[in-house]
A and B are shown apart, each in its own frame.
Chain A
């Protein structure tokens, strides 16, 4: 039996969408393995090389330093934001206390503040404190963006956990803190992990803060891209190699949390 026209149209559309989404990414990956000469031709017939990666990790680009900066900034931000946000999220999810709504609204509303507003005063403060071009500066500023967002996300996950076993444990005499540690945290662990990965992705890709607050020592990967724009023109094959370094870890993380993706950063908004 032949498939209907609609069946074919649908398949063709899906293929077209996947191509539109994948093509720019695939092209960047290809370019990263091309020799400079080949990077400026559209031919797919080239002999792949790892030379670009060797070049970007060597002087004067030192991509390794940027990788290290990115890893440290993103990891420390996650390690500070997620535990603090988890406690707050539990409080917002389980207690009905006066002023709670106002605090929740206050924390959420900071999400509507554009980053450029935050970075101006931080630039001035870090300048007088001598913290410009340090990883600490980046971690502090990233916390501003990431914390409210993670509270929001983890609250969504905790809301979805039934309270029965918590109540039973407390009737048996367990303290609230024990309940949080032994019952809620293990049950919320997948959600907290998902939120941590989202948080890592946001910090890893962050560009504006790093562009303004770093010069040389604390430059992160996204800002490093701009340095491949030289007087000799844009060095596309090197930019692409750096792009691959930025993208691969994040793609792996994104695919790991794929199932929870819909609940992502707008967990509370759709409800």
Chain B
């Protein structure tokens, strides 16, 4: 058989899966986004209403709140993950028994179900019998009895904490991979010249890691924008609507209010945001490559 036709033939099964499970539903949801479709009132798709569902988003406080909540969540969790992952990678770069042990331990949070992480942290932050809540209360008496998950700001902080706990270890591996490909000569030369460790890190290592850090930041941003599981199992969006992220809000619109048209429109807005970020990221990466080759 000709290589040319074979090369396409090999793609067919996978492409059919992507077509049936992603592209077709996407088209379906785009059509739904322009319809009025309240599932409690009608079984079949309703009338076309043009951009009404999209327009609705701009006047609706629930959506605006979720946009704000998502922004705060994304910014804090990405920044924290980046700093922690890079620091851990620098710490774990050396060889040693404890380094190897820690590296193995770091695999566990990523393998853990995010829904279960949410449940576990909810348990540990229970003000009456949660081990973290009680432990903090024992060390800092002023914190004893703090209603951690019943206070809007603290609930958000714990949501970020669980997300960083889940992702920072994984991102550490990516940073370690990046560090491994950074040549050590300049670093050693600087060390011989008497440069301090901090100077070497900020002056030599981090600039060379820019590409990797950019990838980590964007991947984490995308994961954070999608984040859903822990909201359900940790805070349920509360207290009030203080931790209602965009993904959780769309879920509510679709499966609590059963407004399929509006939910589809919101889902497309979220997709658009993610697409914009990924295009911007590809551009940054490309210009980074140009700089590297120049």
Contact assessment for A262 and B173 in the assembled complex, using a CB-CB cutoff below 8 Å: yes
Q: Is B271 an interface residue, CB under 8 A from the partner?
A: yes
Q: 1/0 contact trace for A13-51 toward B, CB 8 Å?
A: 111011011101101100100000001111000000000
CA of A100 to CA of B11, assembled, Å: 10
Residues of A within 8 A of B128 (CB): 40
The distance in angstroms between the C-alpha atoms of A176 and B5, with both chains bound, is 12
A191 at the B interface (CB under 8 A): no
A117 to B27, CA, bound (A): 11
B67 at the interface (CB under 8 A from A): no
CB contact list, B103-158 vs A, under 8 A: 104-117, 119-124, 128-129, 131, 134-135
- A114 in contact with B26 given A97-B8, A176-B6 (CB within 8 Å): no
A95 partner residues in chain B, CB cutoff 8 A: 3-4, 7
A206-242 vs B, CB cutoff 8 Å, 1 = contact: the mask equals 0110011000000001110110000000101001100
Q: A18-B102, A18-B105, A262-B177 are in contact. Are A234 and B232 (CB under 8 A)?
A: no
Residues of B in contact, count (CB < 8 Å):
87
Residue B291 is within 8 A (CB to CB) of chain A in the complex:
no
In A111-129, which residues have CB < 8 Å from any B CB? 112-118, 120-125
Instruction: With CB as the reference atom, state the residue of chain B lying closest to A237.
Output: B123
- Interface contact B14-A88, CB-CB below 8 Å: yes
The answer to the question of B38 belonging to the interface, with a C-beta cut-off of 8 Å to chain A, is no
Which of chain B's residues has its CB closest to A147's CB?
B17
Q: Which of B46-54, B57-65, B183-191, B250-258 contacts A (4 or more CB under 8 A)?
A: B250-258
- Given known A24-B120, A225-B119, contact A113–B114 (CB-CB < 8 A): no
- Complex: how many Å from CA A115 to CA B14? 19
A40 to B112, CA, bound (A): 23
Whether A117 lies near B26 (C-beta < 8 A) is yes
Q: Check B229 against A255 for contact (C-beta < 8 Å).
A: no
| Cα(A259)–Cα(B167), bound, Å | 18
Note all chain B residues with C-beta closer than 8 A to A20: 165
- Check B10–A87 contact: CB distance below 8 A: yes
Return the contact of A91 from the options B7, B32, B111 (Cβ within 8 A): B7
Complex-state Cα separation, A207 to B226, whole angstroms: 12
CB atoms of B228 and A262 under 8 A apart: no
Let me know if B274 is at the binding interface, CB within 8 A. yes
Kindly name the residue among B119, B128, B225 whose own CB sees the greatest number of chain A CB atoms within 10 A: B119
Known contacts A21-B108, A147-B17; A117 and B28 CB within 8 A of each other: no
* B105 A114 Cβ-Cβ under 8 A: no
Binds A, one of B73-81, B200-208, B260-268: B260-268
Is B215 interfacial (CB-CB < 8 Å)? yes
Which B residues lie within 8 Å of A107 (CB)?
A: 14-15, 18
Q: Bound complex: CA of A207 vs CA of B230, how far in Å?
A: 10
Known: A254-B108, A262-B176. A207 touches B212 (CB 8 A): no
A18 contacts B251, C-beta separation under 8 Å: no
Given contacts A24-B124, A97-B7, A270-B215, contact A121 B29 (CB under 8 A): yes
The residue from A10, A112, A147 contacting B275, defined by CB atoms under 8 A apart: A112
Assess whether A67 is interfacial by the CB under 8 Å rule: no
Instruction: Decide if A212 touches B251 in the complex (CB within 8 Å).
Output: yes
Contact (Cβ within 8 A) B88 A17: yes
Q: Which residue of A lies closest to B129 (CB)?
A: A40
A60 to chain B, nearest CB (A): 19
A38 to B108, CA, bound (A): 26
Please indicate the chain B residues that have their CB under 8 angstroms from the CB of A92 in the complex: 11
Q: Does B91 contact A (CB under 8 A)?
A: yes
Residues of B within 8 A of A123 (CB): 254-255
**Chain A min CB distance to B177 (Å):** 4
Q: Is B98 positioned at the interface, with any CB of A under 8 Å from its CB?
A: yes
Cβ of B222 within 8 Å of any chain A Cβ, yes or no, is yes
B192 within 8 Å of A (CB atoms): no
Whether A3 is near chain B, meaning CB under 8 Å from some CB there, is no
A211 to B222, CA, bound (A): 21
The reply to whether B123 and A118 form a contact with Cβ atoms under 8 Å apart is no
Q: Which 3 A-B pairs have the closest CB atoms?
A: A144-B21, A88-B14, A95-B7
15 interchain pairs, CB-CB under 8 A:
A27-B123, A42-B131, A88-B10, A95-B4, A109-B275, A115-B228, A120-B32, A147-B17, A147-B18, A207-B229, A240-B120, A240-B123, A243-B116, A262-B173, A266-B174
The interface of chain A, by Cβ under 8 A from chain B, is 10-11, 13-15, 17-18, 20-22, 24-25, 27-28, 31, 39-42, 80-81, 83-85, 87-88, 90-92, 94-95, 97, 100, 103, 106-107, 109-110, 112-118, 120-125, 140-141, 143-144, 147-148, 151, 175-177, 201, 204-205, 207-208, 211-212, 221-223, 225-226, 234, 236, 239-240, 243, 246-247, 250-251, 253-255, 258, 261-264, 266, 269-270
Beyond the given pairs A254-B111, A270-B212, 14 more chain A to chain B contacts, judged by CB atoms under 8 angstroms and listed by A's residue number, are A25-B120, A87-B10, A88-B14, A91-B6, A94-B7, A103-B11, A112-B275, A116-B250, A120-B264, A148-B22, A207-B115, A207-B232, A212-B251, A250-B113
